[in-house]
């Protein structure tokens, strides 16, 4: 039964696709709050939630945390004009991903 076409399709559709649902949900929750700078930290937070065992609710919390952290960084961080272009594509996602990751690490203890 393991080597049949039906088993392979079940693994692709059932296992792999549903494993991505929580990270994508968390990513788009963060995206709806903070726009593009929130997408990456939301995806990372959702993946950490799934791998840490907190599941769907943990993914929702991670999405909100990532979105509001990215939005706060976006509004509070003032950079020189030469660095302003890097802010939404590098600085905000990197810093907010680190904060979400550390928040997940603290919640696992």
How far apart are alpha carbons 84 and 78 in whole angstroms? 8
DSSP sequence for 9-55: HHIIIIIIHHHTHHHHHHHHHHHHHHSHHHHHHHHHHHHHHHHHT-H
pLDDT tens digits for range 54-74: 889 999 999 999 999 999 999
**Using 50, 70 and 90 to split pLDDT, how confident is the model at 1?**
low
Average pLDDT over residues 19-23: 90
Which of 35-44, 45-54, 99-108 shows the highest mean pLDDT? 35-44
Question: 88 near 31, Cβ under 8 Å?
Answer: no
Compute the average pLDDT of residues 83-102: 94
> Locate tokens 């810093």: which residue?
95
User: What would the two tokens of residue 85 be?
Assistant: 């272009």
Tokens of 10: 């079940």
Model confidence at 108, pLDDT cuts 50, 70, 90, reads low
* pLDDT band of 17, cuts 50, 70, 90: confident
pLDDT of residue 33: 98
Lowest-confidence region among 2-16, 23-37, 64-78, 82-96: 2-16
Contacts (Cβ under 8 Å, ≥6 apart) of 65: 45, 100, 103
- HSE-up of 67 (CA within 13 Å, CB side)? 18
């Amino acid at each position: 039964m393991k080597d049949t076409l039906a088993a392979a399709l079940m693994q692709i559709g059932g296992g792999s696709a549903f494993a991505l649902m929580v990270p994508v949900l968390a990513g788009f929750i963060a995206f709806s709050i903070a726009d593009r700078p929130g997408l990456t930290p939301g995806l990372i937070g959702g993946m950490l939630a799934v791998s840490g065992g907190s599941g769907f609710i943990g993914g929702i919390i991670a999405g909100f945390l990532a979105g509001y952290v990215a939005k706060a960084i976006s509004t509070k961080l003032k950079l020189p004009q030469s660095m302003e272009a890097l802010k939404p594509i590098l600085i905000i996602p990197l810093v907010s991903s680190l904060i979400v990751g550390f928040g997940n690490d603290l919640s696992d203890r």
